[in-house]
Structure 1
Amino acid sequence: MTIASLLEPVTGQPGPARLANAGDWMQGRTLYGGASALVAYTMAQRAFPDLPPLRAAQVGFVAPIGDEIELHAEIVRQGRNVTQVRSEIHSGGKVALTAFWLFAAERDANAKRPAEKLADWPDGPGENPQAMQGQGPAFIQNNFEIRFGQDKDADHGATIRRWARLTEDHDLDPVSKLVLMGDVMPPGAMRIMQRMGPISSINWSFNVLDPQTRSDGGWYLAENASQYADSGYSSERLRMWDSEGRQVIEGLQCVAVFG
């Protein structure tokens, strides 16, 4: 199911909407986090179509999202270069997702520092076996191709790294594709859980390092790494690189670890 069919009801006008094709993007009883974030981002884009490129976002996953929703968007502040927009998804009359988007025009650089290269860069996706065949939530099986991005027999601590791409290109702009794909990996804390149990993303904050990215073959290397886990929660670092090793997203997430 193309993401365009999911986003079609998002017109940019506030009010009720029905995501008639949400089924292929569900993760349990809620819409997959990347898809729900993309619905909120698309709402901001279509409500205010002349925005500059997205540079950063803060997304709060508040409650489950189904097919019957209500959408809201507002400009919080608009300056000469930077526009800050809030968009929300309501479900059952209550906030289910709230997002704060920072759009900013390009300016002459007064500071330059490239992102550090990944030290143990893996072989390309074509040289790595497929992962999660017949495993994982339905939205993965329906919409993504996943390949290993690290030696599956080695000890990687609390880090999960995989090559990922959409099985259909969906005609998405580069940033929309990053929003949709940026939350695709399970948390690194899954590697260190003492017993299996449910997990749930609570929030997701990220910076877009390259809003024009177009990676070869649509492949991106995605990584989730638990930086600290205790008391039922994990602080996760989320990163993505294009096929040439250029980092395109730097993010942080809080994950609830049940069981």
Structure 2
Amino acid sequence: MIGGLFIVRGRKNKMNFDDLINGFRSEEIGALTMDAPQSWAQGRTLYGGLSAALCHVSAMASAEIDKPLRSAVIAFVGPSSGQLTGSAEIMRQGKSTIMMDAVLHGEKGIGTKALLIYGNARDSKLNQSDLAAPQVDAPEDCPSLWGDRKAANFARNFELRRAGGLTPMGGNERGDMLVWVRHATEASVDDTAALFALADVLPPACFTMMSEGAPISTVTWSLEFLMPEVEVANNWFLMKSVAEHTADGYSSQAMYVWDRQGRPVIAARQNVTVFY
């Protein structure tokens, strides 16, 4: 690694998550022409969850960070396509926290920009949570989210089981999705990166309000990581996404992730553009 700079070049063959992350953060300079598989594409860009994950990996490789990620703000500025480069720098570092600025460039400029805050736990008299997991059937007893539909390229790297909520493209009056999700292959090389990838896999909640497909694009994504240690591997996680306000071609949605034991893992929000 030189100056926190990493390079990815596109190709069409399939690559599992761990191999992709290992290739991206390789310290062999000649190997930093790692291919970004078409199997992780989301339309004309790299899948957003993976783009955010690569920003985190760039940050971890650019500074000595021994703290868990606590918060992230992601802006999807433009398409992360063609040859990609990731870079990161320290914005501020204190005794317990470090704030990183990470960028993923595509061939046409900035693709994804991330503000990442890593922080140690501190002693506190407060311990409270109102994020109880919904009561749902086990993932093994839930049907596939997609049914007979063909999933997008990137979504085939995950297994999704509908646990409740509403049907995608069901023409419903509100947007509400409740889905069990896991990586299709074990993702263990970087749990935080694996969580980023997993936490963005659901279609926007307003997708359940549509009666037919239409372009949808996430603009911003803010996440709060509630558990400092999470083993992702190919474990199941329950995800809930609710469209709280949809108008004028934009949808504001709240998103939550719990582990299989019902513990809250992520609380997040997205602003989504809707061409419908």
TM-score where L is the length of structure 2:
0.85
What SS does the corresponding residue of 1:240 show, helix, strand or coil? strand
Mapped partners of 2:250, 2:28: distance in 1: 36
Q: CA deviation at 1:50?
A: 2.9
Within the candidate set 157, 163, 167, 2:174 is matched to 157
Q: 2:72 is matched by which residue type in structure 1? A: A
Note the 1:248-259 alignment, pairs <5 A: 248-259=265-276
Q: CA deviation at 1:161?
A: 1.2
Within the candidate set 181, 191, 196, 1:174 is matched to 191
Instruction: Pick closer, same or farther for the CA change 1:199–1:57 going to 2, 3 Å.
Output: same
- More deviation in 161-170 or 132-141? 132-141
| Paired position in structure 1 for 2:38 | 23
Mapped partners of 2:34, 2:233: distance in 1: 31
| Paired position in structure 2 for 1:132 | 146
Tell me whether 1:211 sits opposite 2:225 in the alignment. no
Contact 1:158–1:192 (8 Å) recurs in 2: yes
What SS does the corresponding residue of 1:35 show, helix, strand or coil? helix
RMSD of aligned alpha carbons: 2.5
Instruction: Pick closer, same or farther for the CA change 1:130–1:193 going to 2, 3 Å.
Output: closer
Contact 1:11–1:47 (8 Å) recurs in 2: no
Tell me whether 1:196 sits opposite 2:213 in the alignment. yes
Instruction: Pick closer, same or farther for the CA change 1:12–1:61 going to 2, 3 Å.
Output: farther
Q: CA deviation at 1:157?
A: 3.1
Q: 2:249 is matched by which residue type in structure 1? A: G
Instruction: Pick closer, same or farther for the CA change 1:70–1:147 going to 2, 3 Å.
Output: same
Mapped partners of 2:224, 2:236: distance in 1: 19
What SS does the corresponding residue of 1:229 show, helix, strand or coil? strand
Note the 1:1-259 alignment, pairs <5 A: 1-7=15-21, 8-11=23-26, 18-92=33-107, 94-118=109-133, 120-133=134-147, 134-141=149-156, 143-150=157-164, 157-193=174-210, 196-214=213-231, 218-259=235-276
Q: 2:98 is matched by which residue type in structure 1? A: T
Deviations 1:137-176, CA, capped at 9 Å, x for gaps: 11112x1111111166797931111101011113233322
Contact 1:205–1:253 (8 Å) recurs in 2: yes
Q: CA deviation at 1:73?
A: 0.6
TM-score where L is the length of structure 1:
0.90
Q: 1:160 is matched by which residue type in structure 2? A: M
Q: CA deviation at 1:116?
A: 2.6
Aligned identity (percent) is 28
- More deviation in 146-155 or 44-53? 146-155
Mapped partners of 2:107, 2:182: distance in 1: 33
Long gaps (5+) in structure 1: none
What SS does the corresponding residue of 2:89 show, helix, strand or coil? strand
Long gaps (5+) in structure 2: 1-14
Mapped partners of 1:145, 1:196: distance in 2: 21
Deviations 1:53-87, CA, capped at 9 Å, x for gaps: 10000000011112401222100000010100000
Contact 1:164–1:220 (8 Å) recurs in 2: yes
Contact 1:84–1:103 (8 Å) recurs in 2: yes
Instruction: Pick closer, same or farther for the CA change 1:132–1:194 going to 2, 3 Å.
Output: closer
Q: 2:114 is matched by which residue type in structure 1? A: A
Instruction: Pick closer, same or farther for the CA change 1:229–1:171 going to 2, 3 Å.
Output: same
Mapped partners of 1:23, 1:161: distance in 2: 27
What SS does the corresponding residue of 2:262 show, helix, strand or coil? coil
Mapped partners of 1:225, 1:204: distance in 2: 14
What SS does the corresponding residue of 2:111 show, helix, strand or coil? strand
Mapped partners of 1:91, 1:194: distance in 2: 33
Contact 2:186–2:234 (8 Å) recurs in 1: no
Mapped partners of 1:81, 1:145: distance in 2: 37
- More deviation in 244-253 or 123-132? 123-132
Instruction: Pick closer, same or farther for the CA change 1:156–1:123 going to 2, 3 Å.
Output: farther
Contact 2:97–2:120 (8 Å) recurs in 1: yes
Q: CA deviation at 1:131?
A: 2.3
